[in-house]
């Protein structure tokens, strides 16, 4: 293939086609006619000697070759876009920019509090629009409609940039009036108690929990399953503050990431204990689109978040 003879518009067409999975939607996205997009797909198939998109019962499905090309083409176009855009400086002290961040309740309760304190000092006119995981999709982040996603992710698209913010262990939160707060706290006593479950990861609208589907309950219950054990969960919630309050006022145990549990460290009505079994640490990550990777303001925000996380880790280890 002679690269000099390749129409770069075709790469743009392929990028949008693979993202939309529809000739009609891709044409609308690029403000061209459907016949023009269909012709572009035909030329792409000739160029790559591959059908690229095949009609199935699920709609237009990308081939193996198309899936291999998608992150490469997205990266090439992103680099080209950033190269031809005029370079602009970003001054956090005067910027009035709004950053939209998809964040879990866990990250919002821990990391974001420290971030807001730094923003008040360094960038007092910047606004944060915090969005829940149920409000957005991977597609929104990929298109740059959302500046960043901060959460615990099991999987992320290859086109995303990502960075681990920190690793966190687990702690058990109990009411000080819970008999186990001052008594024996081993695996048997843990399993004899009732529990409050809390978690929400990934993107998209959440669905109800089936207590019998242990494999879908997350890290804590996955480790118990390896031991052939199962805890008695009485309350399912997606909010860490709710879980903390429930554990504080009810005779239930909340097993949470330690940074969330330590929000109550100075509360005399609460006791924190180490879990009586091993739970691997979790990784809190930030992920963002290649479209924003070279943006000066975005680079500043990512560095600030990393700095805040490092300061919080340093304080926690004192």
The pLDDT confidence band at residue 60, using thresholds 50, 70 and 90, is confident
Closest among 219, 202, 212, 206 to 233, alpha carbons compared: 212
Closest among 93, 95, 77 to 85, alpha carbons compared: 77
pLDDT tens column, 190-242: 999 999 998 755 555 455 555 556 555 778 988 999 999 999 999 988 888 88
User: Measured between alpha carbons, how far apart are the two ends of the chain, in Å?
Assistant: 59
**Cβ neighbours of residue 283 under 8 Å, at least 6 residues apart?**
152, 164, 166, 167
159, 142 Cβ separation under 8 angstroms: yes
Average pLDDT over residues 118-130: 95
Whole-model pTM above 0.75?
no
pLDDT tens column, 266-281: 999 999 999 999 999 9
pLDDT tens column, 18-44: 888 888 888 888 888 888 889 989 999
The whole-angstrom separation of Cα 263 and Cα 272 is 11
Whether 290 shows a pLDDT value over 90: the answer reads: no
Phi first, then psi: give them for residue 94, nearest 5 degrees. -115, -10
Whether 73 shows a pLDDT value over 80: the answer reads: yes
């Amino acid at each position: 293939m002679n690269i000099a003879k390749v129409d770069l518009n075709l790469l743009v067409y392929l990028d949008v086609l693979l993202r939309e999975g529809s000739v009609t939607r891709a044409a609308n996205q690029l403000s061209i006619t459907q016949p023009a997009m269909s012709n572009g797909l035909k030329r792409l198939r000739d160029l790559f000697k591959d059908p690229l998109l095949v009609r199935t019962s699920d709609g237009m499905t990308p081939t193996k070759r198309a899936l291999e090309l998608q992150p490469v083409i997205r990266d090439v176009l992103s680099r080209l876009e950033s190269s031809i855009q005029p370079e602009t400086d970003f001054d956090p002290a005067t910027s009035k920019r709004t950053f939209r961040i998809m964040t879990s309740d866990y990250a919002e309760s821990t990391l974001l509090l420290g971030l807001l304190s730094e923003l008040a000092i360094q960038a007092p006119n910047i606004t944060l629009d915090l969005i829940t995981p149920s409000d957005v999709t991977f597609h929104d982040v990929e298109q740059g409609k959302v500046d960043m996603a901060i959460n615990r992710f099991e999987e992320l698209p290859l086109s995303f940039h990502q960075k681990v913010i920190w690793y966190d262990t687990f702690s058990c939160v109990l009411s000080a009036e819970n008999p186990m707060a001052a008594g024996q706290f081993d695996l048997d006593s843990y399993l004899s108690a009732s529990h409050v479950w809390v978690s929400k990861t990934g993107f998209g609208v959440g669905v109800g929990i089936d207590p019998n589907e242990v494999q879908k309950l997350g890290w804590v219950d996955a480790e118990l399953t390896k031991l052939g054990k199962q805890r008695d969960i009485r309350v399912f919630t997606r909010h860490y503050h709710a879980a903390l309050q429930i554990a504080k006022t009810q005779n239930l145990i909340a097993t949470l990431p330690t940074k969330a549990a330590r929000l109550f460290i100075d509360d005399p009505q609460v006791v924190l204990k180490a879990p009586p079994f091993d739970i691997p640490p979790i990784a809190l990550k930030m992920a963002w689109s290649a479209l924003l990777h070279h943006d000066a303001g975005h680079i500043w925000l990512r560095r600030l978040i990393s700095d805040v996380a490092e300061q919080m880790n340093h304080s926690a280890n004192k």
